[in-house]
Amino acid sequence: MEEKLNNSEEEKMLAGEIYDANYDEYLLKKRLYAKELCKKYNELDVRDFDGKRKIIKKLLQKKVEQFTIEPNFYCDYGYNIILGKNFYSNHNLVLLDANKIEFGDNVFIGPNCGFYTSGHPLDYETRNKGLEYAKPIKVGSNVWIGGNVCVLPGVTIGDNVVIGAGSVVTKDIPKNSVAYRKSL
């Protein structure tokens, strides 16, 4: 499904501007293709490593080395995801990749985590029109992300960072840091 960027809504999406993903046939076609591949991936036998690799390669459209993504795995487009070497994600990874999501080398992600480049306007009139925006997410190398973590649009996580379980990451995390949500 490799196609050149030729759609104004897609250009707006990748530029971080407000765009319409709901009624744009080109974007809808790309999302449906990615969701079909995710469905196939999630239905594979757990021992079918070759099948998983082929689907991820087709979905991401980039070379991927040494990765494990436990099912279930979901994404919006796939082609905006970049995985470094030695990537591991536990079950239920969600990558809403309307913009780039880039992971460095040696990234380990706990279960039930989401990385969301997509956001919606605070103004309800604009939001009710189905408009949204997308800001890139970047995760450095040697990063460990605990279970049930949510990373929001536009966040950069530096190298050698640990994000504690249950955290909602709303702003950049500098390298060599530990960030977590305090217990209640």
Q: What is the tally of structural domains in the chain? A: 1
In a domain, 110, yes or no: yes
Domain of 76?
Answer: 9-179
Q: Over the stretch 149-183, which tens digit does the pLDDT of each residue have?
A: 999 999 999 999 999 999 999 999 999 999 998 76
With a cut of 70, list the residues of the chain below it in pLDDT. Answer: 1-7, 183-184
Q: Which residues contact 143 (CB under 8 A, 6 or more apart)?
A: 103, 104, 106, 107, 108, 157, 159, 160, 161, 162, 163
Quote the pLDDT of residue 82. 96
What's the pLDDT score for residue 1? 46
Q: Kindly state the tokens that stand for 68.
A: 């494990």
Please indicate, yes or no, if residue 184 is contained in any of the structural domains: no
The answer to whether position 87 is within a domain reads yes
- Does 97 fall in a domain? yes
Give CA–CA dist 83/104, Å, rounded. Answer: 7
CATH code at position 51: 2.160.10.10
The H or E element spanning position 67 is strand 67-69
Q: Which of 40, 54, 91, 120 is catalytic?
A: 120
| 120 in active site | yes
Residue-level pLDDT at 184: 57
